[in-house]
Structure 1
Amino acid sequence: MSIFFIKSILSLALVIVAAVDMLAMFEVFGRNERKYNPETLKKIHRAAGILYLIVFSVITFLCLRFIYLTKTELSVRGTFHGVFALAIVILMAVKVMYIRTYKQFYNHAKVFGVLIALFTFGTAGVSAGYYLLVSEFGTEKSYDRIIQYKERAVMPKREKQDIRKQPAIMTDPESIGRGKNIFDSRCKFCHDAYSMDTVVGPGLKRILKNAELPASRRPATPENIREQFIHPFSRMPSFENLSDEEVEDIIAFLNTL
């Protein structure tokens, strides 16, 4: 099961808990004539609050872990998601201080509770809502490759040393020619080798002369291109069936772009 799908389901659960939490307090403080037992509603509110903190902490851990592994700059949508989540943390901290210590501000804590619920809806909407929509509720599996690639990118020192022992880039015309033939038969349907324009995947012009690879944003090195063939980023299919010699030939060709 995809980590994105798990996070999305947890986010939906968080929305439900936040809604229950908010409605319980609406019933306690918002009605002139109360329909339900206030003490029961307060217990529900307290239990929902504890459950909210647990689920929120789990989601936060998964999100921070993903950011740590990917080390990529957040998208606009990811930035909004992060700002909303940070606002929730700050509001929760201030609300607890108002309730536990600065009790003269207790009435403001009620407003903070509503704001926390609203920010929760926004946070889940721009993350879980987006993912479940574009992935057809988790049935589109290409998104799963992103986290798989990033997790494998965090390699132990011994694996890094093995990578450094990979052969140097071939520069002889035969290797370059073979690499071009393989590229034309396997890669050119998705990648333009002679520009930076996107076809299905990004253009590959100057791919080994730039600082970063165009999609994964990892350093533009032969080692990372070799890794890309085995553990591809995003929607790129795996090319594990290529022999080591074929991979080296493709890299020789890419080095000429």
Structure 2
Amino acid sequence: MSDYLIKSLLGVLLLGAGLTSFLSMMARFGRPGDEVRAARLRKVHKVAGYAYIALLAPLAFFGAKFLVEMGDGLSVRGTFHFVLAMTLLAVLVLKFLTVKTHRQLLKHAPVLGMTLFSLTLVIFLITAGFFFLQTAAGK
């Protein structure tokens, strides 16, 4: 199994965890209900968030390894991916710190979460999406 396939499959799982986390909070804030439902959605969000972090770690390792191998020969798509990935990590750290240590800034967590999901989707589409299209086309 190639590194590209492994990274793409991890990317699919990462996108799934991000989508689960995103949709659970959208449902919680967008359709208020009883407290039991809200607590359940918060728990789903938390589990999906930790799964997201666990899936992001090996992807970051693979990305760093690839970056070292490529050196200065990184393509435009690769450079764009790298910049977006660094932005994603920065937003993830900001959101994590906001939720865990800076509770007075908690009102910004939904925007940070939406930004995380948007960045995840864009990175997925320009890398794993591109890989799957190339594989399907037989190239």
Normalised by the length of structure 1, the TM-score is 0.51
Question: What is the percentage of aligned positions where both structures have the same residue?
Answer: 30
Which protein, 1 or 2, shows the higher relative CO under an 8 Å CA cutoff with sep ≥ 6?
2
Secondary structure of the 1:41 match is helix
Instruction: Give the aligned residue type for 1:116.
Output: L
The answer to whether the aligner puts 1:125 opposite 2:125 as a matched pair is: yes
Aligned partners of 2:118 and 2:68: how far apart in 1?
27
2:90 maps to: 90
Segments of 4+ in structure 1 off by > 6 A?
none
Residue 27 of structure 1, CA deviation: 1.3
Distance (Å, rounded) in 2 between the aligned partners of 1:32 and 1:55: 30
Give the Å deviation of 1:102: 2.0
Alignment partner, residue 102 of structure 2: 102
Report what 1:191 is aligned to: none
More helix by share: 2
Question: In structure 1, what is the equivalent of residue 9 of structure 2?
Answer: 9
The residue aligned with 2:56 is: 56
Aligned mates of 1:80, 1:121 — CA distance in 2: 14
Q: 1:80-131 deviations in whole A, cap 9, x for unaligned? A: 2112211111111111221222222101011101110110000111010111
Using the alignment, how far apart are the partners of 2:88 and 2:96 within structure 1? 12
Give the superposed CA RMSD.
Answer: 1.9
Aligned to 1:66: 66
| One-letter amino acid of the structure 1 residue matched with residue 61 of structure 2 | F
Structure 2, unpaired ranges of 5+:
none
Instruction: Name the larger-Rg structure.
Output: 1
1:41, distance to aligned residue in structure 2 (A): 1.2
CA distance in 2, matches of 1:98, 1:106: 6
Distance 1:73 1:104 in 2: 44
3-state SS, counterpart of residue 136 of structure 2: coil
1:40 has 2:43 as partner = no
Structure 1: unaligned runs, 5 residues or longer: 141-257
Are the equivalent residues in 1 in contact too, given 2:32–2:38 (CA < 8 A)?
no
- In 2, Cα distance between the equivalents of 1:49 and 1:63? 20
Q: 1:48 to 1:32 in 2, by over 3 A?
A: closer
Partner of 2:21: 21
Distance in 1 (alpha carbons) for counterparts of 2:83 and 2:136: 26
The amino acid of 1:136's aligned partner reads A
CA–CA separation in structure 2 for the residues paired with 1:5 and 1:72 = 24
